[in-house]
């Protein structure tokens, strides 16, 4: 039984890739699910492989969970399609779109054919994983994503202030008022100056001054 080794890479993220070994008589659905065991994505999303040219031009579609229009047009289904039936080239390529609602595009390329399967391995088998798959935002995680974004924004604000851990003592000494403490101090000083001028005006108009004028 021959083993196909495929390299799967994100079209928009060159530094993220996976290499998966899979039996030639396994299906495109097996490969689809193996890809998303390695990315952490939900495999139960409408997705498609396309037989591709060397320039990544899409040809025949092989789908999972297709919409009614594709079903009516007789689209080929992943669960019924063995990989070996679509391999005409030792470097065969497939263009792959995951989750048509929020699509990610992948390049899938056959990079090696191993003549004999290893009896100790349960195929499909993840041979190599490079980089962390980008996060997908959906209803199940949008709250945690928003919280993470807020935390990152606070961190970026401190970075813009050239904040360093040693600044913590200084912030505590300011009574937790942070950058507004200096403004508050200046406001207090202005109030004291106003009080001082006010006292001077009252002294200027006191009774002693008036009595001196009458004596003159």
Q: How confident is the model at residue 1 (pLDDT cuts 50, 70, 90)?
A: confident
pLDDT band at 172 (very low <50, low <70, confident <90, very high): very low
pLDDT at 120: 96
Residue 24 burial class via C-beta count within 10 angstroms: exposed 0-12, middle 13-18, buried 19 and up? middle
pLDDT digits 0-9 by tens, 106-151: 999 999 999 999 999 999 999 999 999 998 876 554 444 444 444 4
Question: Which region among 12-16, 67-71, 199-203 has the lowest average model confidence (pLDDT)?
Answer: 199-203
Rounded average pLDDT over 163-192: 48
pLDDT value, residue 214: 46
pLDDT at 189 over 90: no
State yes or no: pLDDT of 207 exceeds 60. no
Pairing of strands 17-23, 3-10: antiparallel
φ/ψ (deg, to 5) at 130: -125, 120
**What span, in angstroms and rounded, lies between the C-alpha atoms of 182 and 192?**
16
44-97 pLDDT tens trace: 999 999 999 999 999 999 999 999 999 999 999 999 999 999 998 999 999 999
Residue 39 CA, chain-centre distance (Å), reads: 13
Main-chain dihedrals φ then ψ at residue 34, nearest 5 degrees? -65, -40
Q: What is the mean pLDDT of residues 154-178?
A: 45
**Residue 20 to residue 8: CA distance in whole angstroms:** 8
Determine the pLDDT at residue 82: 98
- Distance from C-alpha of 130 to C-alpha of 105, rounded to nearest angstrom: 17
């Amino acid at each position: 039984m021959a083993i196909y080794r495929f390299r799967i890479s994100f079209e928009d993220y060159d530094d993220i890739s996976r290499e998966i070994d899979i039996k030639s008589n396994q299906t495109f659905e097996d490969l689809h699910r193996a890809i998303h065991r390695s990315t952490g994505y939900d495999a139960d999303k409408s997705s498609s492989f396309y037989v591709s040219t060397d320039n990544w031009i899409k040809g025949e579609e092989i789908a999972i969970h297709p919409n009614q229009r594709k079903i009516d047009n007789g689209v080929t289904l992943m669960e019924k399609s063995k990989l070996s039936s679509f391999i005409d080239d030792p470097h065969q390529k497939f263009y792959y779109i995951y989750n048509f609602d929020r699509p990610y595009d992948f390049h899938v390329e056959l990079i090696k054919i191993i003549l004999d399967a290893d009896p100790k391995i349960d195929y499909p088998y993840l041979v190599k994983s490079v980089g962390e798959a980008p996060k997908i935002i959906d209803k199940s995680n949008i709250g945690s994503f928003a919280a993470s974004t807020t935390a990152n924004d606070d961190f970026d604000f401190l970075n813009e202030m050239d904040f360093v851990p040693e600044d913590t003592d200084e912030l505590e000494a300011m009574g937790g008022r942070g950058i507004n403490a200096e403004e508050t101090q200046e406001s207090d000083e202005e109030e004291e100056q106003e009080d001082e001028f006010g006292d001077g005006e009252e002294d200027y108009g006191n009774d002693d001054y008036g009595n001196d004028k009458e004596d003159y």
